[in-house]
Amino acid sequence: MSGAMGTVDWSLYLVTDPVLGGGPDRVVDIATRAVAGGATVVQLRDKHATDAEVEATAAALLDAVDVPVFLNDRVEVARRLRCHLHIGQIDIPFPRARALLRDDQMIGLSVGSDTELDAVIALDGRGPDVIGIGPAFDTTTKANAPAGLGVERVHALADRARTADLPSVAIGGIDADRAGLFTDTAVDGICVVSAIMAAADPAAAARDLKEAYTR
């Protein structure tokens, strides 16, 4: 039911935030510098921009970086640009999203409990290409986020996912001080927002995160 396309390096997954980055016009530059510093995947997330604005930013981002680019919850934009998609539990249902996209477009899905992971594993046909497990810690970068799971719970979910050949990344409240806590867990990478988006030097922040989280 699973299996990411080819071999993707999930080790440092950046989720963008235009507010933390100082405005939507700075997102592509920050992401580009983060990739130069070692970010291996970028997800464009902007809950307030229009589809047209997201499409313009995504097109610029796709031209600027050579790592997988995911769009958060904008399935029609992802379909038009032929990039990848990430959805949450209350976004478009996964089977519908999968039916709308091409086979070469990956889909990531947020998972925060055994029940949600059970539903992923039970999917018929191709499941998500990666899951984001979290929030790992309490976070303020996502409205109404539940309490942090903690490293042990994240590891337990990631270990179950790995048994199902499903890559996972930990997300939520992870910074350079906490990144190393996931080195010996079953996750395939760490996912960060403010640790890079709010950094004075995004490239240096990415390097610090990669150094802290070593496989």
Q: Is 139 annotated as a binding residue?
A: yes
Q: Is 142 annotated as a binding residue?
A: yes
| CA–CA distance, 137 with 174 (Å, rounded to integer) | 7
What b/e string do you get for 124-144 counting C-beta neighbours within 10 Å, with b at 16 or more?
A: eeebbbbbbbbbbbebebbee
The amino acid at 164? A
Q: Is 115 annotated as a binding residue?
A: no
Q: Is 91 annotated as a binding residue?
A: yes
Q: Is 184 annotated as a binding residue?
A: no
Q: Is 73 annotated as a binding residue?
A: yes
The answer to whether the beta carbons of residues 71 and 82 sit under 8 Å apart is no
Q: Is 43 annotated as a binding residue?
A: yes
**Which of these, 203, 214, 205, 212, lies nearest to 34 by C-alpha position?**
203
Calculate the CA dihedral of residues 45, 78, 170, 148 and round it to 10 degrees: 50
Q: Is 44 annotated as a binding residue?
A: yes
**Which of these, 67, 70, 28, 25, lies nearest to 45 by C-alpha position?**
70
The answer to whether the beta carbons of residues 62 and 37 sit under 8 Å apart is no
Q: Is 2 annotated as a binding residue?
A: no
Q: Is 47 annotated as a binding residue?
A: yes
Q: Which residues are annotated as a binding site?
A: 43-47, 72-73, 91, 110, 139-142, 173, 193-194
Q: Which residues are annotated as a binding site for Mg(2+)?
A: 73, 91
